[in-house]
Amino acid sequence: MRLPPALRTLCLAVLAVLAAAAPAHAQTASIRGFVRDAGNGQALEGATVIVIDRDGRVSGSTTDPDGLYAVLRLAPGRYGVRVSYIGYELLRDTLALRAGEDLTRVFELRSSDVEGQEVTVSAEGQTASSLGAAGLDVVRPADIERLPTPGVSADLVSYVSTQPGVVVQGDRGGQLFVRGGTPSQNLVLVDGIPLLQPFHLIGFYSAFPADILASADFYAGGFGARYGGRISSVLDVKTRTGNKRRFQGSVSAGPFLATAHVEGPLSKTGSASFLISDRESIIEPVAPTLFNRDLPYRFYDRFGKLAVDLGTRTTATVTAMQTYDRGNLSDLQSGRPTGVNEPEEHVVWRNGAYGVRMLHLPAGVPLVAEVNLTLTQHENLFGTPGDEERRSTVQSMNGGAALTYLIGSEELEFGFGVRNVRLDYTLGGQYENVQSDVEYLTEGTIYADMALPLGQTFGLKPGVRLSAFRGRSTVEPRLRAFFRPGGADARHQFVGAWGLYRQDLEGISDRRDAGDVFTAWISSGIGDRVPRAMHVIGGYGYKASRAFSFEIEGYYKKLDYLLAPAFQSVPSFSARLQETDGTVVGVDVKTSVERGPAFASLAYGFSRTRYRALDTRAQVLYGGGPYTYAPPHDRPHQLTAVVAVDIKGFQLSTQWQFGAGLPFTRSSGFDTFVLLDSLNDVTVDPGVARVLYGQPYDARLPTYHRLDVSLERVFAVRPNLDVTLQAGVTNAYDRRNLFYLDLFTLRRIDQLPLIPSAGLKVAFK
């Protein structure tokens, strides 16, 4: 196969860098390996490994999400080693390195038994460097568990949906709009496996319960070249491995969910473990009794993971995840009394995600090799139960490898991948009168991401991603940077990012109706024009200690070649699509204060999303040029306040969210349209019923706000048995928040009313 010129250039550049760095490595030594929790074998991300020579000179490394560290270019000799992590005892060791030696060590840290006392103090977490890169928010289970949720099953989406740049249309639908993008423009990965619609119909839940979560990188924009195929955001979820030392697990029940999870070692040496989690919705059968209303939803998420250490240089994981959602969004809260059965349409989606990931540290080469093989299956149905007229399925097999080459303090990640996708859709004429089609697509990708720290004050991360897809190749340059006046211990940090992004698969939905979340996946592009975006991000962060942080980040996105439903005044079944472009401008502000048992955070987001309809018809109707409008997910103001307090063993969590009203199109009413393109006879032509729409999206729905409160206490019944009791209330002051307004029937669909909840969790360890 002949590579495109840009691809060849990149390969040659990477090879040149690798070749230039190899001789230097032969004269020095290095130490690499993993840092783990001695109690359960979990990788510790963010641990510090310090190597000190006889003269007191210090070299160091911080572990990545796999717990991987690497200290390179060390002169031969004896070294003292210090390994530290917040909440863990300091580990000290000595070692001797010979010239050219590539030593591998696994360090296991013991958790500090003294509650509330930090045995070690790390600079990490106290300085601006812990605030993260441009557009990035690193989410950890502790961040999620501070938030109130109905029941005791904390979930990643409850955190993500409160971020200032994230708009959700309501507490149902599982649709996240990030900084002006649409849900299908978000890339969601679980252990490197793409998932197409991982958010459940009930907006409190996703496929990612906190129980299985190690961390998640949420890029609201400006992501590096490692990620591609989407133009809005990335949610890269890394799951925990099971406990390698002992068995543990939990069961829980609340009004929405029943859950169970179990994990434990698979070998006596602690080299292998498993983790299984299952969450099943129970809201459908219990709602009529508890809430005197039908909540016709069923969903589940099932997760399993095997982790194996193949020596000290290689780890392998096998991940499997299945999700299911089925429900009717349009009828909820419509006042339909319990027990009334009407023929309805419903939406169903299923995900299957399976993957094998292997991480290897080749001996003698300063490389980290990562290999991924994944299979993604997704199915989305809409229509009458059992006879759904709309269906979209996606099968995607991905194979890829990433090589991270460590060159002193610089780092070069070079990766490639191949993806085979089968798209099969039956749309029943819903979009552009397309009935059905099958597409087979193959994509080849190669990327390079480089980290170039220029001292401790300034860092650059250039990258480029090249793809060959449907006979066309694309080049997507990326650049990320930080500036910390004062070095790594600086309290102030400036960050920036710029990049070009392209979308290879497109999820088309009929956004004329918020209750219709059916998404059909098709190959992107109108001719050669593939949806693309340019992101520009600039931010400032201040962090003086763990007690206080402040971040502000501005962003600009330029969007091109998007497909959006055209404006139509006739209640047509088939949505015509029109080409649009747009811009998004916004500012996210976040601050948090933590003092003793109390935590408070405030996040405010301003954004202005504008689309331009390039369709000739729109231009004719609304003026000479392209018609500019705020799309239905444009929420200019959004604010979230969280207060969590530990009082005598009780954790009280409160969260208040506010969002400005979303755009909608008003009408003058209804009439009958009669076509007059010739000498039509109005006594014969019955005409067509029509909604007398005004200017598209020229009005705003009422503001959204809601207060959620929960109170939780963990009782240590036995040393190895905890019982958690939780009580809470969702929408505490019973705000009547609008989910959507059906402009044809004028039926108002509201979001969930005040819902009290209680939960019980039993955990053994």
Partner 1 sequence: MTAADAPVQAPPVPVPPVSVSPLPTPPAGPAPRRHMRGIAVLAPVLLMLAAVVSSGCEDAVNPFLDDPRFFTVYGFLSTDADTQVLRIEAVRRTVDLPQPGPLDAVVTTTDLTSGAVTTWRDSLVLFANGTRGHVFFGAFRPEHGHRYRLEVRRGDGQVTSATTRVPDRLSPRIGTEPRPVDVSNGVAIQPVTFPGVTNAPRQVAITYRFAPARPDYPFRDVQLVYEQPSIGSRVGTDWQVRVNYSLDVDSLSRLFAGRIPPLYAVGVRLAQGDSLWVPPGGLPTFDFDILIEPTAMTNVENGFGFFGSVGMQRAEWGLSRALTEALGIPAP
Among 116, 678, 718, 719, binds partner 1 (CB under 8 A): 678
Interface with partner 1 in residues 129-188 (CB under 8 A): none
Does residue 246 touch partner 1 according to CB under 8 A? no
CB nearer to partner 1: pick between 51 and 225: 51
User: Which amino acid is present at 679?
Assistant: L
Cα-based distances in Å from 552 to 155, 164, 498, 694, 721: 25, 11, 17, 37, 43
Q: Which of 127, 232, 281, 519 binds partner 1 (CB under 8 A)?
A: 127
Any contact of residue 732 with partner 1 (CB under 8 A)? Answer: no
The one among 248, 322, 569, 724 contacting partner 1 by CB under 8 A: 569
Query: From CA 752, how far away is CA 749, in angstroms rounded?
Result: 10
Q: Which is nearer to partner 1, 26 or 746 (CB)?
A: 746
CB of 716 to partner 1, least distance (A): 23
Place of tokens 């080409």: 579
Per DSSP, 137 falls in state: E
Cβ distance 171 to 129 under 8 Å? Answer: no
540 makes contact with partner 1 (CB under 8 A): no
CA gap 155, 198 in Å, rounded: 12
CA distance 512 to 631: 10
Nearest-approach distance from CB 75 to partner 1, in angstroms:
17
437 belongs to the binding site for partner 1 (CB under 8 A):
no
The continuous run of DSSP H or E covering 158 comes out as: helix 156-160
Alpha helices in 371-505 (DSSP H): none
- Quote the tokens at residue 120: 């070690």
The token duo for 754 is: 């005040």
Q: Which of 675, 716, 717, 721 binds partner 1 (CB under 8 A)?
A: 675
Q: Pick the piece of the chain touching partner 1 (CB under 8 A) from 315-323, 378-386, 554-562, 667-675.
A: 667-675
Identify which of residues 670 and 764 has a Cβ nearer to partner 1 in the complex. 670
What distance in Å separates the CA atoms of residue 392 and residue 505, rounded to the nearest whole number?
13
Q: In this chain, which stretch among 5-13, 138-146, 442-450, 560-568 interacts with partner 1, using CB under 8 A?
A: 560-568
Burial class (CB in 10 A: 0-12, 13-18, 19+), 716: exposed
Q: Which is nearer to partner 1, 79 or 208 (CB)?
A: 79
Question: Does residue 120 belong to the site contacting partner 1 (CB under 8 A)?
Answer: yes
Q: Rule CB under 8 A: is residue 363 a binding residue for partner 1? A: no
* C-alpha–C-alpha distance, residues 416 and 465, integer Å: 9
| Residue of 671, 715, 716, 727 that binds partner 1 (CB under 8 A) | 671
Give whichever of 182 and 737 is closer to partner 1, judged by the CB atom: 737
User: In this chain, which stretch among 81-89, 143-151, 532-540, 755-763 interacts with partner 1, using CB under 8 A?
Assistant: 81-89
Is 445 a residue that touches partner 1 (CB under 8 A)? no
CB-based contact 761:751 (threshold 8 Å): no
Q: Is 545 in the site for partner 1 (CB under 8 A)?
A: yes
Q: Which is nearer to partner 1, 258 or 266 (CB)?
A: 266
Site for partner 1 in 33-62 (CB under 8 A): 36, 38, 48, 50, 58, 60
Binders of partner 1 among 607-666, rule CB under 8 A?
616-617, 619-622, 637, 639, 658, 660, 664, 666
DSSP SS3 for 25: helix
For partner 1, give the closer residue by CB, 558 or 637. 637
Give 56: exposed, middle or buried? Use CB within 10 Å, 0-12, 13-18, 19+: exposed
- Per CB under 8 A, the segment of 407-415, 481-489, 509-517, 717-725 that binds partner 1 is 481-489
Binds partner 1 (CB under 8 A): choice among 292, 386, 684, 719: 684
Which listed range, 146-154, 254-262, 331-339, 562-570, lies at the site for partner 1 (CB under 8 A)?
562-570
CB neighbourhood size of 85 (10 A): 27
Rule CB under 8 A: is residue 282 a binding residue for partner 1? no
Which of 20, 22, 570, 598 is the binder for partner 1 (CB under 8 A)? 570
- C-alpha pair distances (Å), 720 with each of 141, 229, 264, 426: 21, 46, 14, 52
Kindly tell me which of 125 and 477 has the beta carbon lying closer to partner 1: 125
Q: How far is the CB of 512 from partner 1 (least distance, A)?
A: 14
Cα-Cα-Cα-Cα dihedral of 480, 485, 489, 493, to 10°?
A: -50
Answer yes or no whether residue 593 interacts with partner 1 by CB under 8 A.
yes
- List Cβ neighbours of 457 (8 Å cut-off, separation of 6 or more): 483, 484, 485, 486, 487, 490
Report the residue number, 55 or 528, with the smaller CB distance to partner 1.
55
The only residue of 15, 674, 716, 727 in contact with partner 1, by rule CB under 8 A: 674
Neighbours of 765 (CB within 10 A): 16
Closer to partner 1 by Cβ: residue 475 or 488: 488
DSSP string of 37-53, one letter each residue: ETTT--B-TT-EEEEE-
Nearer to partner 1, 291 or 604 (CB): 604
d(CA 149, CA 730): 8
Asked if 508 and 526 touch (Cβ cutoff 8 Å), the reply is no
Provide the minimum distance between the beta carbon of 120 and partner 1 in the complex, in angstroms, as a whole number: 7
Name the minimum Å distance from CB 565 to partner 1.
Answer: 13
Given 6, 17, 21, 82, the residue binding partner 1 (CB under 8 A): 82
Q: Does residue 337 contact residue 756 with C-beta atoms inside 8 Å?
A: no
Find the binder of partner 1 among 123, 454, 598, 727 (CB under 8 A).
Answer: 123
Q: Which of 251, 571, 587, 714 binds partner 1 (CB under 8 A)?
A: 571
Indicate which single residue of 395, 409, 667, 724 sits in contact with partner 1 (rule: CB under 8 A): 667
- 362 contacts partner 1 (rule: CB under 8 A): no
When the beta carbons of 86 and 188 are compared against partner 1, the nearer one is 86
- The whole-angstrom separation of Cα 91 and Cα 38 is 11
| C-alpha–C-alpha distance, residues 32 and 313, integer Å | 9
Return the number of other C-beta atoms located less than 10 Å from residue 162's C-beta.
19
Asked if residue 589 binds partner 1 (CB under 8 A), the reply is yes
Q: Encoding tokens for residue 2?
A: 């002949």
Residues 6+ apart with CB under 8 A from 180: 232, 557, 559, 582, 584, 586, 607, 609, 633, 634
Minimum CB–partner distance for residue 254 and partner 1 (Å): 27
Burial (CB count <10 Å: 0-12, 13-18, 19+), residue 220: buried
Q: Note whether 688 binds partner 1 by CB under 8 A.
A: yes
Helix (H) or strand (E) holding 589: strand 577-595
CB under 8 Å to 189, separation ≥6 — which residues?
Answer: 195, 234, 235, 236, 237
Closer to partner 1 by Cβ: residue 311 or 756: 311
We find the least distance from the C-beta atom of residue 103 to partner 1, in angstroms, to be 6
- Interaction between residue 690 and partner 1 (CB under 8 A): yes
Of residues 734-763, those binding partner 1 (CB under 8 A): 735-738, 741, 743-746, 748
Strands (E), 165-313: 166-168, 176-178, 186-190, 193-195, 213-219, 233-239, 248-253, 257-265, 272-281, 297-309
Nearer to partner 1, 300 or 740 (CB): 740
* Residues from 485 through 504 that contact partner 1 (CB under 8 A): 487-489, 491
Torsion of CA 105, 141, 204, 376, to 10 degrees: 0
Positions in 89-118 near partner 1 (CB under 8 A): 89-93, 103-110, 118
Chain centroid to Cα 760, Å, comes to 28
Count of residues that bind partner 1 according to CB under 8 A = 108
Is 602 a binding residue for partner 1 by CB under 8 A? The answer is: yes
CA distances in angstroms from 130 to 134, 136, 482, listed in the order given: 12, 11, 12
Tokens found for residue 94:
């000595």
User: Site for partner 1 (CB under 8 A): which residue of 312, 338, 420, 720?
Assistant: 312
